Structures are given as C-alpha cells and as structure tokens.
Amino acid sequence: MDIIRIILSILLPPLGVFLQVGLGLHFWINIVLTLFGYIPGIIHAIYIIAKK
C-alpha cells in the first residue's frame, strides 16, 4: 500500500499525505509546501509516508 501512496504523492502530494494521516497538521503543511513549490510538497509527502 505504501507504493501506491508514494506514486500518488508524486502525482499529487497532498493526496498521499491525506491517505497516510488524514486531515491533520501534516496535510495542511503539505498543502502550503505544494503551493510554494511542487518539489518541496513531494519531498514532504514522501518523508511522511516513509516515516511510518
């Protein structure tokens, strides 16, 4: 299941974080990072998924 989340995180970073943690603080941080730049959103999303 983590492989699917990582693929979704590359396509749409907030979706991967949402599937991992729901509508928590990390989801909103990822939204802001993705708005500032696509790459920081991807890095944060993969970090959140790999941390579990």
Domain that holds residue 38: 16-51
11 within some domain: no
22: left (phi over 0), alpha (psi -120 to 50) or beta: left
The number of distinct structural domains making up the chain is 1
**pLDDT bracket for residue 44 (50, 70, 90):** very high
pTM, 2 dp: 0.89
**Residue 32 covered by a domain:** yes
Residue 13, both tokens: 């970073």
Contact 37/4 with Cβ under 8 angstroms? no
pLDDT bin (cut points 50, 70, 90) of residue 12 is very high
Average pLDDT score, the chain = 93
Determine contact, residues 27/20, Cβ cutoff 8 Å.
no
